[in-house]
Amino acid sequence: MYKFIKSAIAISLVAACLLAGCKKDSYFYNTGLHQAKYDGTILDYLKAKPFIFDSLTMVVKIAGMEDLFQKENVTFFAPPSSSIHRAVVNLNNDLRSNGKDTVSQLEQVAPQVWKDLLSEYVFKGTYLLKDIPQIDTAAMNAFPGQGYVSYGGRTMNIGVFYNSAGGVKYVGYRQLIFSYIPDFSNPTINLINTPVATSDIQPTNGVIHVLQFQNHVLGFDSRRFVNAAESAGISKATE
């Protein structure tokens, strides 16, 4: 069992505690509120929540991105450690099926692979929920969200989904949706959507929107990580 993996139950419990224990001023997908301001950098915040972000902070270090999250002003759609775990499990399943040694340490995946994928979750500048246009995944022609160029240079779609309340459309709670665009010739078709669980956390150098831990895999499509990791080469585990 990989030393960086937390059980799904532990992740769920901690995520629930994070949501339930926070206070006023920012948005959850379930209309709860929490304290928006955080007296520290984005990296400080991630390190302060090890049960949610321990593997993420390790990947940030391996990728050489610590200065980015300490010094630059960015918006970060933070994938929880469970998304990294899923990516590595998919990689190991593929390696095993091809008779190859599996990965037991995050460092065995090339730093550039981590950096390339993680850079898709980062955007220069500050984008709060109120700054993002509306998206309706069932009516993309009317409310398509908007494309934003990520730190890594790939355009991602971001939108705010307005839920229904009392049978009335668009008057319920608002939730950020972060999406991967598979085909730029049809940028509103077959998006891979990931809801945000906690939005508008504001450290001293930007904004964090925490993605829901259920089902999301780093890179959105599991084959992207598997193909990139295997193409770059898997290094041997250290003692």
Cβ neighbourhood burial of 65 (10 Å; 0-12, 13-18, 19+): buried
Q: What percent of the chain is modeled with pLDDT above 70?
A: 85
pLDDT tens, 132-165? 999 999 999 999 999 999 999 999 999 999 999 9
Q: What is the pTM of this model?
A: 0.86
User: How far is Cα 211 from Cα 225, in angstroms, rounded to an integer?
Assistant: 18
Mean pLDDT, residues 168-189 taken together: 95
Q: Is 27 a residue whose pLDDT tops 50?
A: no
Residue ranges of domains in the chain, CATH in brackets? 8-125+199-232 (2.30.180), 129-197 (no CATH)
Q: How confident is the model at residue 30 (pLDDT cuts 50, 70, 90)?
A: very low
Asked if residue 197 lies in contact with residue 210, where contact means CB atoms within 8 angstroms, the answer is yes
Average pLDDT, the chain: 88
